[in-house]
Amino acid sequence: MLFVLLVSSAPALAEGPRVLVLGDSLSAAYNMATADGWVALLEERLGPQASVVNAAIGGDTTAGALARLPAALETHSPDIVIIALGGNDGLRGVALSEFRQNLLDMIAASREAGAEVILAGVRLPSNYGSAFIDRFLGVYEEVASMTGVALVPKILAGVAEDPSLMQADGIHPNEAAQPLILNNIWAALEPLLPAQREG
């Protein structure tokens, strides 16, 4: 009896994680080439086997993203969902209770679809006053504590404080800031990757 063993000359490549980014202009490469934005840099860092979908839209709110989320989850089947929203909620005067509930609903929907979640805090302009800004950022901490999701307290940590890393409007980061934003996100994302890759 003759047995034939077929051996592939190249090992099978493990499928990388599927990442869905929900965000606003801070994640949508505002006023720069898409390839220079932190989401594109994330895709580069994860490598060719990963899939990164940038569903960030300039001016987006948590309510807008929540409405689109079911279709995005069904279409892309992400392993990880990054939620970096809220700045426009604050600018439009959305009640903090509504803002909080929208985040909770997005997290619940993402988890129901089988995805891990990273929540990233988004800044408000300083003219909103430190008291309100603290309450606003406190919503992210509260939601993360309630749900146990990974938290990036401030997506622009180390960026917003440096005028050389901001565009002329003082609100949006420039190209030089994008690797720093990625590093902020990466600190929360990297611990989720081994389980995704080994599964």
The catalytic residue positions are 25, 169, 172
Q: Rounded to an integer, what distance in angstroms lies between the CA atom of residue 91 and that of residue 61? A: 10
Q: Rounded to an integer, what distance in angstroms lies between the CA atom of residue 43 and that of residue 41? A: 5
User: What does residue 22 show for φ and ψ, rounded to 5 degrees?
Assistant: -105, 120
CA 169 to chain centre: 23
Helix extents (H) in the chain: 38-46, 62-76, 87-91, 96-112, 130-147, 178-189, 193-198
